[in-house]
Structure 1
Amino acid sequence: MNTTPIPRISIIGAGPGGLTCARILQKHGVDVTVYDRDPDADARDQGGSLDLHADEGQLALREAGQIEQFWKLARPEGQQMRRWDTTGKVLLDQVPDEDDRYKPEIDRGQLRELLLDSLAPGTVRWGHTLASVAGPAEGPRMLHFTDGTSVETDLVIGADGAFSRVRPAVSAAVPYYSGITFTEARFDDVENRHADLSALVGNGSGTAADGERALFAQRNSGGHIRVYIIRRAPADWITAAGLTAEDTAGIRAHLLDEFAGWAPSTRRMISDNDGPYADRPLFVLPAPHAWDHVPTVTLLGDAAHLMPPIGVGVNLAMLDAHDLALALATHSTVDEAVRAYEKTMLPRSGDLAGALVGGAGLLLEADQQPDSQDEFRALRQKLKG
């Protein structure tokens, strides 16, 4: 970027999108600072496994110079997809070809660590929870943090997820509850402690559904499996049932009752978990979500386009990061770069979000999922137009 003075670029959020954007900017010699609310990199569990697509997440990692590191961690065998009925009978077992690398799996934590290790020391400022973005639209902007500190900056990039604190600077849109909730159950040392579940899931993931509820099981690295118990329920269903998030036994009994018609082999994915459940109600943004251009603020990933979790979110976030970082590295001003990025990103995400309106309900319909890698690719191309 050839401009004087050198712009101060601030990314809010050290998730895959924010870190990818920072890495590509640094690779092109552009200074950037990332602010994240976590006290440190290991403050919380980063979640399950991700499938990074060749034309999205992998594309971004290649530009970031991290594709070789990715392949040291990626699990191409994790592309295996199974579908069961509610008794656990295998209806579909799609095993990837040996050379298929279209959408291999990688743990979220591994991806985050890979990206953090690629950044210059001190790039991420931990323990910075954003309170608000102030200042005139033409800049400079002032970032106010909840600890009372403030930072002046020339560009704010909101990569801070569903409930973004940056989004209000450009848009009045707020996420709304989809009516679908995920309850996560974790299984550890599965080869020894949960051998039946390990055999049922295989190397990748599997799902069973009856139209109103579903189970989605996903193998992670290190002998772990996560199961997502998916249902239509009020966002406050735990409180409404007279339970608390810490009442593992009570939540287990409630869920088992809802899945009473399912076979014991599948209900063990609800009952035999290690440790507490994690409640994850599914929120989405109105679609399509767009905003009038502001030269000093923009969004990427879930902050810009929050959609159902069907292999879209992280890949789009990393593709956004790729496009925005390259725009900033190649345009003469921040304003021109943000315009160029949004000219590509907003139509792309708007079309996809429009195609997925009501898509959360597909998670409860196993027969709506693609049956093969070729069908998956065809679906992705259709959604992307």
Structure 2
Amino acid sequence: MNIQEKYVISGAGTGIGRAIAQKLSSADHICVLLGRNENNLNDTLSLLKPNNKHQIIVADIRDKANLQLAVNQSNLVAVNGLIANSGIGGENYWGDNDRWDDIVNTNLTGTYNFVNTFLPKLQKADAKKHILITSSILARLGVSNYSAYCASKAGLLGLMRSWAVQFAPEKILVNAICPGWVDTDMAQQGLQGIADNIGITKSEFYDIAMQSVPLKRMSRPDEIANLIGYLISQESITGQCIDINGGAIMNSIASGAYELALKYSKVRKAFGKEIAQHQAIQFKLADMATRIEAARLLCLKAAWEKDNGLNYDLSSSMAKVFASETAMWVTVEAVQIHGGYGFVKEYHVERLMRDA
């Protein structure tokens, strides 16, 4: 019999937050749904497995006083987990209408406020205690005109690692997830916005975006929720960021390192000619390209088996481990091709190797 646990989920009114609530309620856990829009929260509540202990809290995580007042009125005593999922996206531009403050205050400062406000309730729990943070693949990758979003999501990873150390003596596990493209309203709006800016249709940009995703599709909110379900079930992982993006980050890291190494090899000269003309460098570049392609094909095979209703446990595991190892191996080779410059921050390969 499952032990009934209680989880507070911010941003629970739509998308990933709603899917997380549905996942946890299906496992007989109690969900406390937090957000700014009461109608959205009630819509989520109506989808949960019936339990008269579920509740909603209408509060703005950007406002510490408002958040504390809502908590005080909630009559919560103890909770087993805080799932910091609230977030907004979109572009920002310097100027009078810059959205920097709104995005950073929601995604980063809001998460800080949310966790610290509910922390005393978490510390009173007798059983497992978890803090889970929804970051993004863009914490690791840059996108033009998304400076506030990328910075805020990267900041969440620093926050997670700090808290993991700080709260470890209290047996509170702190982890983050980094989703890629997830089929939510926010993602669809992002697709449309980028497509409009570059003058193509949303469908055309979707095809472009999926080129960097080995599985060639967006993740579903319920798939993200399944990962959250696993993380709250375990008692040993802490201080980690889990990527869930169809293989995009590993192949993006490897491909990025390869492209930088290839470009550098065509401008750096040794013994009177470009190093790309030296056989030793050619061997390295060829091996890098081969492993990257093999990682992509393994991911595609796992996706094909899933789409055709076949068991993909083995193929997906093989794809995961090979893509991860490829990212590390390729970035090391890229650093070696750069020589001493590969360890200098002015050359991006050192960052890619650290990410891998």
Q: TM-score, normalised by structure 1?
A: 0.34
Q: TM-score, normalised by structure 2?
A: 0.36
Larger Rg: 2
| Larger RCO, structures 1/2 (Cα 8 Å, 6+ apart) | 1
Higher helix share: 2
Higher strand share: 1
